[in-house]
Structure 1
Amino acid sequence: MTRPPSARRGRKPNAEVSDPRPTRQRLLDAANELFYAEGVQSVGIDRIIERAGVAKGSLYNTFGSKEALVRAYLESRHEGTTRRLSAVIDAVDDPREKLLAVFDAQGELFEEPDFHGCAFVSASAEATPGGFIEKATEDYRSWVRTMFTDLAAATGVRDPEALGRQLQLVYDGAGLAADIDRDPTVALSARTAAAALLAAALAESDTSHASGRR
C-alpha cells in the first residue's frame, strides 16, 4: 500500500513543514480557504492546522483560540474587500463610472471558481446573536453602505443615502444569486439595475433643481 507523502518523509502528524510564510499567515490563509468554502462552525481547528502545515500548539500560541482566528479571518476579508474596491474606484475619474466600477469588480469575483458568496453572510448565518461575528458583519455592511452613499453623493444626486441603500440591495442580491444559482452572468443584470437607479436619481435631481430655479 502506498504511504501518504508525510509518512514517506517520516514527518510526524501536526509537525511543522517547510514553508516561507510566517506561521500566522499560514494559519490565516488556511482559515480563509476552509472557513470561506465550508463555514466557520463546520471547520474544526484540526483541519486548519493540517491545511496550514503547522504544529498544533502554533494556533494557540499565535491566536489563542479558534474564536480569535475567526475574528482575524473576518478582519482579513473586510480589509481585502476594502483594498480591492478602493483600488477599482480610484482607477476611474468619472463619478458615475466610479459607482458602476464596483459592480464590474463584483462581477469579476463571480467568475472565480472558488466563489461562495459573501463571507459575512455565511458567517453570520451560523453565529450567536450579539457576538463578535455579528459585530464584524455590521461593521462590514456599514462600510459597504457608506461607500455607496459617498459614491452616490459624488454624482450629485439629491438623496445619496437613499440611492446608497438601493445600490447595496442590488449588490447584496447579485452576490446571493451568483452563489445560489452558480450564475456569474447576474453581474451584468446587477450593473444594469445600478445604472438605471443612478439615472433615475440623477433625473429626479435635475427636475428638482429646475423647479427650484423657477
Structure 2
Amino acid sequence: MTAAPAESPAPVPGAPSGSARERILETAFALFYARGLRAVGIDTIIAESGVAKATFYKYFPSKDDLILTYLDKVDGVWTGQLHAAAASAGEDPADQLVGLFDALYSSCQREGYRGCAFINAAAESAPGTAIHTRTVAHKQAVLAWLETLAARAGAAQPGQLARSLSLLLDGGLASGALDADPAAAEAARATAALLVQQSTRRPSAG
C-alpha cells in the first residue's frame, strides 16, 4: 500500500503568498514573461509556487490551460493600463488616442521589460492553436477599441487610423524591448499625435 501524498508541500522560501491557484498564476506570470512560454516547465512552476503537483493539476489540467489563464491575466493588466492612460488624457477622444501611448512609455521603463507578452506568445505558438487564437483575439479587441475612439474623434477613416495606431503601439512595444530605451515610446507617441491631428482635421469654414 502506498502512502497518500501530502496535502501540500512545505512552504518554499520566497514563494508567492495567497491561495494555491493565485500562487501558481503569479509564479507563471513572472516566469512566462521573463523566460518564454516553452522554456518554463510545469515542474519549475510547481517548485517555485510551493504547491503539490496534484494541486497544480487540480486547477490547471494542462500547461496550455495555465498559459491561456496567464494570457487572460496579461490582457486584463495591459488593457487596464491602456484605458487608464487614455482616460488620464481627458474626455476628448482625440486626446485619448494620443494619451494611451503613455502606457507604452511606462511599460518600457519597467525593470525586466521584454516587450508585448502577446506578440511573444504568438511567436511561440502555431496558428490555429488555442494560444495563438487568444493572442489574435487580444489584438483584435485593442484594434476595435482604437477604431471606436477614432470614430468618436471624427476621423474620416477610423479603421485606417486605428490600424496605424495599432502598428505604432506594437512597434513601440517591440522596439522598447530590443533597444531597452523608452525613446521608442516617445517617438511612437509623437507620431501618433501627428496621425490623429491629420486624420481628424476639419476643413476650414468659408
Do these two structures clear the TM 0.5 threshold for a shared fold by scoring above it? yes
Instruction: Please state if 1:144 is matched with 2:142.
Output: yes
Q: How high is the sequence identity, in percent, across the aligned residues?
A: 34
Aligned residue for 2:128? 130
Deviates more, 1:83-92 or 1:110-119: 83-92
CA contact (8 A) 2:24 2:56 kept: yes
Q: Tell me how large the CA RMSD over aligned residues is.
A: 1.9
1:39 Cα deviation after fit: 0.8
What pairs with 1:108-127 in structure 2 (closer than 5 Å)? 108-127=106-125
Which blocks of at least 5 consecutive residues in structure 1 are unaligned? Answer: 1-11
Q: Under a length normalisation based on structure 1, what TM-score does the superposition of the two structures give?
A: 0.85
CA contact (8 A) 2:86 2:98 kept: no
What pairs with 1:53-72 in structure 2 (closer than 5 Å)? 53-72=50-69
C-alpha distance in 1, partners of 2:191/2:103? Answer: 15
C-alpha distance in 1, partners of 2:36/2:110? Answer: 18
Alignment size in residue pairs: 196
C-alpha distance in 1, partners of 2:45/2:29? Answer: 10
What pairs with 1:102-113 in structure 2 (closer than 5 Å)? 102-113=100-111
What pairs with 1:135-174 in structure 2 (closer than 5 Å)? 135-174=133-172
Instruction: Please state if 1:184 is matched with 2:178.
Output: no
The structure richer in helix per residue is: 1
Instruction: Please state if 1:28 is matched with 2:25.
Output: yes
C-alpha distance in 1, partners of 2:99/2:156? Answer: 21
**Aligned residue identity for 2:151:** A
Aligned residue for 1:17? 11
C-alpha distance in 2, partners of 1:33/1:65? Answer: 18
Q: Which structure's CA Rg is the greater one?
A: 1
1:156 Cα deviation after fit: 0.9
CA contact (8 A) 2:101 2:188 kept: yes
CA contact (8 A) 1:39 1:122 kept: yes
CA contact (8 A) 2:83 2:100 kept: no
CA contact (8 A) 1:117 1:175 kept: yes
Q: Alpha-carbon deviations, 1:85-114, whole Å to 9, x = none?
A: 223333422222211111011100000012
- Displaced runs of 4 or more, over 6 A: none
Q: Under a length normalisation based on structure 2, what TM-score does the superposition of the two structures give?
A: 0.89
Aligned residue for 1:79? 76
**Aligned residue identity for 1:74:** L
CA contact (8 A) 2:98 2:196 kept: no
